[in-house]
């Protein structure tokens, strides 16, 4: 069991090299309200689907803790809002955070150390592969929410129409792309019109790349290793040869092309299934899901995104916050509540394996063909995640640099490498030669 003694400065030994940080010690149930026997009110920020509904369900069934929910933007805007709130001492008591951001926030002293309050929960309820994303330097900084294996979403009816087999390897994927373009000059197998760093990272992860690692007390950055170059060259080749669309990612045009059958597939994650009935309702029964193609035919995948629950620095309600977090991540009622959202139903694959069957029963899978079970496919994919991936303590700078390179993946990785090295030095951290 991890030590729970209060500390003011910790070294994130393995995952964060020798970074020293100021950490808020575990403990704190709710201040004056708790002492007076009144319900403790905690604030909760999230951009995840169904978050509002889980807060409402928790409030209906709990008397000692009350949750005040606020929806925040996803992505960089949400991260900036949280960072500013922490700096201004106005942060929430609970928030959701991408796994990729945890090392950066932890190393800057912006997270509450949850080792004492939630360390045993994480150790007992979550598999090692996801624990490694929230346990840094032998401390627990977050509680996992979901696992996000990359998968291939494809139009089964159009693959059948063009006589295309679902590709199992990236070589087969290219051949399928060539066949589709030949049979319909207006159609493409997929779109890669912009550099989404999260997808690029997931594809590099699948190929066995390890962009960040520690060597002694120093950070090692290697975003241009052979595996990363293989991925970059492959997708750059598809783009240059006109085998994939160059429509801007996430643009309305991309959505339209998927809807009208111009784009036959896309690389998504487990969470992608939730929004498809709303976005592509007219194609009900036509979209299917398959494992992501691999380089050698053996099952393997990386992750695309992924969310955890944190207690930001400054909260004095750690115990109450963890009570809510535990309910959301490990109880049947908490998992079921997320699926009551009418706006965008969640299809997140719980990081806690015991909750996956609950999620599968709660998710309306009628949009997909009868033989396609999104949760079964996602769970199988999660079992093939390549191990050993580590995120960096300067991830925001890396993402910002990569975002400027559009669809040039090689330039994106080179820019990310340079940005990471400079940011690590600027932070006063050691950079391995």
DSSP code string of 108-128? TT-BB--HHHHHHHHHHHS-H
Number of residues in the chain: 433
CATH topology for 9-147+305-362?
Answer: D-Maltodextrin-Binding Protein; domain 2 (3.40.190)
Q: How confident is the model at residue 193 (pLDDT cuts 50, 70, 90)?
A: confident
Among 192, 185, 178, CA closest to 239: 192
pLDDT at position 18 is 40
Among 166, 164, 150, CA closest to 288: 166
Give ranges for CATH 3.40.190.10 in the chain: 9-147+305-362, 150-303+388-426
Tell me what the mean pLDDT of segment 215-231 comes to.
Answer: 93
pLDDT at position 5 is 31
* pLDDT at residue 331 greater than cutoff 80: yes
pLDDT at position 31 is 55
Give the burial class of 39: count Cβ atoms within 10 A of its Cβ; 0-12 exposed, 13-18 middle, 19 or more buried.
middle
pLDDT at position 35 is 52
The proportion of the chain whose per-residue pLDDT surpasses 70, expressed as a percent, equals: 91
Give the burial class of 270: count Cβ atoms within 10 A of its Cβ; 0-12 exposed, 13-18 middle, 19 or more buried.
buried
Reading phi first (left if > 0) and then psi (alpha if -120 to 50, else beta), residue 378 is in alpha
pLDDT per position as a tens digit, 378-426 = 999 999 999 889 899 999 899 889 988 766 788 889 999 999 999 999 9
pLDDT per position as a tens digit, 78-134 = 999 999 999 999 999 999 999 999 999 998 999 999 999 999 999 999 998 899 899
| CATH homologous superfamily of 150-303+388-426 | Periplasmic binding protein-like II (3.40.190.10)
pLDDT at position 409 is 80
* C-beta separation of 320 from 326 below 8 A: no
Q: How confident is the model at residue 9 (pLDDT cuts 50, 70, 90)?
A: very low
- Residue 151 pairs with which residues in a beta bridge? 268, 291
* C-beta separation of 420 from 398 below 8 A: yes
Q: Which of 8-17, 184-193, 199-208, 334-343 has the lowest mean pLDDT?
A: 8-17
- Taking only Cα atoms into account, the Rg of the chain, rounded to an integer number of angstroms, comes to 22
* C-beta separation of 94 from 45 below 8 A: yes
């Amino acid at each position: 069991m991890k030590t729970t003694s209060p500390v003011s400065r910790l070294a994130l030994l393995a995952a964060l090299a020798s970074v020293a940080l100021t950490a808020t010690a575990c403990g704190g149930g709710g201040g004056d309200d708790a002492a007076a026997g009144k319900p403790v009110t905690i604030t909760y920020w999230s951009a995840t689907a169904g978050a509002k509904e889980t807060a409402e369900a928790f409030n209906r069934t709990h008397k000692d803790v009350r949750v005040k929910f606020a929806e925040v933007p996803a992505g960089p805007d949400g991260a900036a809002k949280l960072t500013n709130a922490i700096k201004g001492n106005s942060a929430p008591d609970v928030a959701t955070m991408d796994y990729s951001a945890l090392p950066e926030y932890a190393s800057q002293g912006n997270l509450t150390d949850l080792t004492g309050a939630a360390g045993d929960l994480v150790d007992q309820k979550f598999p090692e592969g996801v624990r490694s994303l929230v346990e840094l330097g032998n401390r627990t900084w977050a509680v996992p929410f979901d696992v996000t294996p990359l998968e291939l979403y494809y139009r089964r009816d159009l693959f059948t129409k063009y006589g295309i087999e679902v590709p199992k390897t990236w070589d087969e994927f290219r051949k399928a792309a060539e066949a589709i373009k030949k049979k319909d000059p207006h159609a493409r197998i997929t779109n890669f019109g912009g550099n989404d760093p999260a997808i690029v990272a997931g594809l590099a992860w699948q190929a066995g790349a390890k962009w960040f690692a520690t060597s002694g007390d120093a950070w090692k950055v290697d975003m241009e290793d052979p595996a990363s170059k293989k991925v970059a060259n492959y997708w750059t080749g598809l783009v240059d040869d006109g085998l994939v669309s160059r429509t801007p990612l996430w643009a309305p045009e991309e959505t339209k092309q998927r809807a009208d059958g111009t784009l036959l597939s896309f690389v998504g994650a487990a969470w992608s299934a939730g929004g498809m009935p709303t976005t592509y309702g007219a194609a009900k029964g036509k979209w299917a899901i398959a494992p992501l193609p691999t380089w050698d035919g053996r099952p393997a995948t990386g992750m695309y995104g992924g969310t955890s629950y944190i207690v930001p620095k400054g909260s004095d309600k750690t115990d109450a916050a963890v009570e809510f977090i535990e309910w959301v991540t490990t109880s049947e009622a908490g998992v079921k509540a997320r699926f009551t959202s009418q706006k965008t139903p969640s299809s997140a694959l719980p990081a806690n394996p015991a909750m996956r069957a609950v999620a599968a029963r709660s998710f309306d899978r009628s949009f997909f063909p009868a033989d396609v079970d999104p949760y079964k496919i996602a769970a199988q994919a999660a079992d093939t995640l390549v191990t050993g991936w580590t995120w960096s303590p300067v991830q925001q700078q890396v993402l910002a640099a990569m975002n400027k390179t559009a669809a040039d993946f090689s330039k994106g990785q080179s820019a990310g490498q340079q940005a990471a090295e400079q940011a690590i030095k600027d932070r006063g951290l050691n950079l391995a030669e």
